[in-house]
Amino acid sequence: MSRNGIRVVGATLPDGRRTDLFVEDGRFVESLTDPASARHIDADGLQALPGLVDLHTHLREPGYEASETVLTGSRAAAIGGFTAVHAMANTSPVGDTAAVVEQVESLGRDHGYVTVRPIGAVTVGLAGERLSEIGGMATSRARVRVFSDDGFCVSDSLLMRRALEYVSTFGGVIAQHSQDPRLTVGAQMNEGALSAELGLAGWPAVAEESIIARDVLLADTVGARLHVCHLSTAGSVEVIRWAKARGIRVTAEVTPHHLLLTEELVRGYDPRFKVNPPLRRSEDVEALRTALADGTIDIVATDHAPHPVESKACAWDEASNGMVGLESALAVVQLAMVDTGLSGWADVARYLSETPARIGMLDGYDASFAAGSVAQFTLVDPTASRKFDVADLRGKGTNTPYAGRTLPGRVLATIHDGYPTVLDGELLDAEVVRKSAAGARA
Amino acid sequence: MRHLLSTRDLDRETAVHILDVAEDMAEVATREVRKLPTLRDRTVVNLFFEDSTRTRTSFEVAAKRLSADLINFSAKGSSVSKGESLKDTAQTLAALGADAVVIRHSSSGAAQTLAESGWIDAAVLNAGDGTHEHPTQALLDAFTIRRRIHGAGSRGRDLDGVRVTIVGDILHSRVARSNVWLLATLGAGVRLVSPATLLPADLTGWPVTAGSDLDAAIAEGTDALMMLRIQGERMHAAYFPTTAEYSRHWGLTDERFARLAPDTMVMHPGPMNRGLEISARAADSAQSTVLEQVANGVSIRMAVLYLLVAGGAEAHA
């Protein structure tokens, strides 16, 4: 009987060691029991990374299937080297009940490209008024551990305090979208000299920094964990640094686009560059890179936000916020962090896999590549270079800010739960992956 | 010049040329036959997503004086979904064979999006986009200032050394933005006066001096005082407490008007809130250029339509 063996020859591990990897029955093993039947992958010159884990993905299903589905978003994730994504709750209906999060989780499991972990809404309907059934979602089959009203800030201080306390009861964490709504009414881009010139309403840094400052103090007061979504300013980095120095249990994420792109791109009013939080100044990009390299920022998360074409083929202030990011995340991180010498691949493994899994309380990512661990990994050719294009996307969204840009690196294989989802740089067929997933569960 | 989207990208030579062509157009208006055949068989579309009777009418008169076929396409309140409307409308106009589109839109950048989207191949003329720019307003203001100062000898001149003070809601004003760039390009010194709430938070790169003391600006002297329209609703968003307080500090009251030098121009893009940002006496004085601005607006818009649509290749009649 086949044990779905995989033999990866000559891969370079994140720590730089060169080794062969063996997978059998979904797990890394010391040696194969049936080498002859094993799938052979030549990894000469390839960088092996633990399966990437995205803590911030918008899969749009249920409700917005024209933008993305669990299947299409999972495929976008797999081609980007991901083996797990956390799906935000701003669907329709909102992911604020056990029924919705269980549906999303099971769709992900059936499709089998990645582990889909739903994020539960903090408040009913993301309305910021009363707590959703956090306990119900935590104890559901979806075992929700991350709760967020992403897209909206839990701006009410009392509600945020209660949410931090209540979620801690279930061992979970609040992932806050830090944006003071009153300071950002109608905001269209980073507030500064450029917004003044372009006549676009400004989104001031203080609207993010003041919420983060309040939230770390609240987390400290109640002794709860706090996760800060998509940090975007140099000032936010300072607040996080201060909070960590005080021993406050806060983690922070940055998106690939905030590590690379600046507000100057808004100059042409091309809505592909419209995102929330907005693209900031080059000083902010520098501060974010430094903070990611020194660990002040814990993880990179994509904020993959697919939109239908018509949401971006319009005037700037009518356009939706957001960019797709799963397919390009690793390439952008390589460009911004690795190729600049700020990070090594072991750092990338930490902030794109191990730490996001730990924050999301996702098992199986703490001992990557060790015999006995579930095989979640990806093989990357770091020497590849390509002019990134819409044709490189695999989700439904085409709203990538990188079209036409040269990006380094290319994912050639992704192995999830011990079976391949990507081989030779291309996705495996959905039916094949579905069967592999069913087999892995059996 | 393919489009007119902003004054920021106009160089001095081009700007002076537009003003000079507008002088020619103004001359036509004084003749018995005020119509030129220049744009015969050309189609100009007034595409207004936002109400503006004044600007739309001004462009309408300008296009008609150039013998263009004019279509007024009011897209406001269209049932088309908000996001799709600009693209759909643009493609519709392209199918109708528009040679030039004069666009007014509530979104900053809408004119540039239209020009660069590939949805339509017509010349695009920005008639006001959100809080970004309103280039023909700035051109007509510069034209008005130049004529008041240089009269019949205006042709070929810039505004070197002219002092212009712009007062009011700079933050939300496309008129202010277009004027800042154009006046500076033409050599004028620009001073902005407004409460700090109505000034952009960061003016790095703006060729201006900025402050909040209107009396000091008047005391120092200025050749033109441009009063911007203030929207009373701004007080509800805490930009200032009351219209009365605004008027006391930043309005051109009778008392302040009396302190102006006798040759200081009083300008206003209209429509005016008499008694709020400008007193009736100031508005109706000989120093006021308000009605000249309206008349000059037609000349400027004729000049721009002519340069964009006829390519300026044909000598003026």
Cis peptide before B195 (omega within 30 of 0): no
Per-residue pLDDT at B316: 41
Q: Give the pLDDT band of residue B52 (cuts 50, 70, 90).
A: confident
Query: Distance (Å, rounded) from C-alpha B139 to C-alpha B10?
Result: 11
CA diameter of chain B? 56
DSSP letter assigned to residue A274 = -
The whole-angstrom distance between A266's CA and the closest CA on chain B is 10
What residues of A are in contact with residue B108 (Cβ under 8 Å)?
A: 188, 198-200, 269, 316-317
Q: State the sign of the Cα–Cα–Cα–Cα dihedral A352, A355, A360, A363.
A: positive
Q: A200 and A260: one domain?
A: yes
Q: Give the pLDDT band of residue B50 (cuts 50, 70, 90).
A: confident
**Is A364 contained in some domain?**
no
- ipTM reported for the complex surpasses 0.90: yes
Q: Give the pLDDT band of residue B88 (cuts 50, 70, 90).
A: confident
Inter-chain touch B108–A269, beta carbons under 8 Å: yes
Q: A187 and A217: one domain?
A: yes
Inter-chain touch A199–B201, beta carbons under 8 Å: no
Give how far Cα A366 sits from Cα of A284, A373, B272, B281, Å: 31, 9, 68, 78
Closest by Cβ to B108, choosing from A191, A193, A200? A200
Model confidence over A84-110: pLDDT tens digits? 999 999 999 999 999 999 999 999 999
Which residue of B lies nearest to A192 if distances are taken between CA atoms? B202
B46: nearest Cα among B12, B75, B11, B87 = B75
Q: Give the pLDDT band of residue B41 (cuts 50, 70, 90).
A: very high
Statement: residue B79 has pLDDT above 70: no
The count of structural domains within chain A is: 2
DSSP letter assigned to residue B83 = H
Per-residue pLDDT at A112: 98
Inter-chain touch B83–A200, beta carbons under 8 Å: no
What domain range includes position A417? 6-47+373-441
Which residue of A lies nearest to B88 if distances are taken between CA atoms? A314
Average pLDDT on A423-430 reads: 98
Find the DSSP H helices in A80-156: 98-111, 134-138
B143: nearest Cα among B164, B157, B130 = B157
The token duo for B53 is 């009777």
Summary mean pLDDT of chain B: 93
Average pLDDT on A237-241 reads: 98
Q: A391 and A334: one domain?
A: no
Model confidence over A160-169: pLDDT tens digits? 999 999 999 9
Q: Is B88 on the interface with A (CB under 8 A)?
A: no
Query: How many inter-chain contacts (A to B, CB under 8 Å) are there?
Result: 90
Query: Distance (Å, rounded) from C-alpha A397 to C-alpha A67?
Result: 6
Inter-chain touch B83–A310, beta carbons under 8 Å: yes
Q: A257 and A354: one domain?
A: yes
pTM of the predicted model over 0.80: yes
Q: A33 and A127: one domain?
A: no
Asked if the B137-291 domain carries CATH number 3.40.50.1370, the reply is yes
A88: nearest Cα among A135, A152, A136 = A152
**Is A191 contained in some domain?**
yes
Q: Give the pLDDT band of residue B317 (cuts 50, 70, 90).
A: very low
CATH number for region B12-134+294-309? 3.40.50.1370
Is the CB of residue A388 less than 8 Å from the CB of residue A327?
no
Inter-chain touch A191–B204, beta carbons under 8 Å: no
What values do phi and psi take at A89, rounded to 5?
A: -90, 0
High-pLDDT (> 70) share of chain B, %: 95
Q: A309 and A421: one domain?
A: no
Inter-chain touch B201–A192, beta carbons under 8 Å: yes
What residues of A are in contact with residue B200 (Cβ under 8 Å)?
A: 193, 195-196, 202
Q: What is the DSSP string of A42-73?
A: E-TTPEEEEPEEEEEE---TTT-TTT--HHHH
Q: A54 and A41: one domain?
A: no
Q: A40 and A67: one domain?
A: no
At which of A311, A329, A359 does a domain end?
A359
Query: Distance (Å, rounded) from C-alpha B33 to C-alpha B30?
Result: 8
Non-local CB neighbours of A435 within 8 Å, separated by 6+ positions:
none
Beta-carbon neighbour count of residue A229 at 10 Å? 25
B residues 133-172 closer than 8 Å to A (CB): 133, 171
Inter-chain touch B109–A316, beta carbons under 8 Å: yes
Q: A92 and A230: one domain?
A: yes
Which residue of B lies nearest to A205 if distances are taken between CA atoms? B201
Inter-chain touch A197–B206, beta carbons under 8 Å: yes
Is the CB of residue A299 less than 8 Å from the CB of residue A240?
no
Q: A150 and A269: one domain?
A: yes
Interface of A with B (CB under 8 A): 185, 188, 191-193, 195-202, 204, 268-269, 310-311, 313-320
The whole-angstrom distance between A351's CA and the closest CA on chain B is 35
The whole-angstrom distance between B65's CA and the closest CA on chain A is 32
Summary mean pLDDT of chain A: 97
Statement: residue A148 has pLDDT above 90: yes
Catalytic residue numbers of A, as ranges: 303
Report the CATH number at residue A14. 2.30.40.10
Q: Is B8 on the interface with A (CB under 8 A)?
A: yes
Q: Which helix (H) or strand (E) holds A4?
A: none
Residues present in chain B in total: 317
What residues of A are in contact with residue B202 (Cβ under 8 Å)?
A: 191-193, 195-196
Q: Which of B202, B234, B236 to mutate to test the interface with A (most CBs of A within 10 A)?
A: B202
Model confidence over B110-125: pLDDT tens digits? 999 999 988 999 999 9
Kind of pairing between the strands at A226-228 and A173-176: parallel
Inter-chain touch A196–B174, beta carbons under 8 Å: no
Closest by Cβ to A318, choosing from B82, B200, B201? B82
Is the CB of residue A231 less than 8 Å from the CB of residue A253?
yes
Which residue of A lies nearest to B199 if distances are taken between CA atoms? A196
Is the CB of residue A403 less than 8 Å from the CB of residue A390?
yes
Is the CB of residue A425 less than 8 Å from the CB of residue A411?
yes
Place of tokens 């489009």: B3
The whole-angstrom distance between A194's CA and the closest CA on chain B is 8
Which residue of A lies nearest to B129 if distances are taken between CA atoms? A199
Model confidence over A251-262: pLDDT tens digits? 999 999 999 999
Average pLDDT on A414-436 reads: 98
Query: Distance (Å, rounded) from C-alpha A160 to C-alpha A144?
Result: 18
What residues of A are in contact with residue B85 (Cβ under 8 Å)?
A: 314
What residues of A are in contact with residue B78 (Cβ under 8 Å)?
A: none
Q: A233 and A246: one domain?
A: yes
Closest by Cβ to A193, choosing from B81, B87, B204? B204
Which residue of B lies nearest to A200 if distances are taken between CA atoms? B108
Model confidence over B221-267: pLDDT tens digits? 999 999 999 987 777 789 999 999 999 999 999 999 999 999 999 99
Domains of chain B, residue spans: 12-134+294-309, 137-291
Inter-chain touch A268–B81, beta carbons under 8 Å: no
What residues of B are in contact with residue A66 (Cβ under 8 Å)?
A: none
Per-residue pLDDT at A2: 57
Q: Is B81 on the interface with A (CB under 8 A)?
A: yes
**Is A367 contained in some domain?**
no
What residues of B are in contact with residue A204 (Cβ under 8 Å)?
A: 201
Which residue of B lies nearest to A320 if distances are taken between CA atoms? B83
Per-residue pLDDT at B315: 42
Report the CATH number at residue A60. 3.20.20.140
**Is A368 contained in some domain?**
no
Q: Of B93 and B19, which is predicted with more confidence?
A: B19
Min mean pLDDT across A202-216, A369-383, B299-313 is at B299-313
Which residue of A lies nearest to B119 if distances are taken between CA atoms? A313
High-pLDDT (> 90) share of chain B, %: 83
Inter-chain touch A197–B131, beta carbons under 8 Å: no
Average pLDDT on B68-81 reads: 73
Average pLDDT on A184-205 reads: 97
Average pLDDT on A341-362 reads: 98
Q: A128 and A213: one domain?
A: yes
Per-residue pLDDT at B80: 47
Model confidence over B290-313: pLDDT tens digits? 999 999 999 999 999 999 998 755
Is the CB of residue A127 less than 8 Å from the CB of residue A155?
no
The whole-angstrom distance between A125's CA and the closest CA on chain B is 24
Per-residue pLDDT at A209: 98
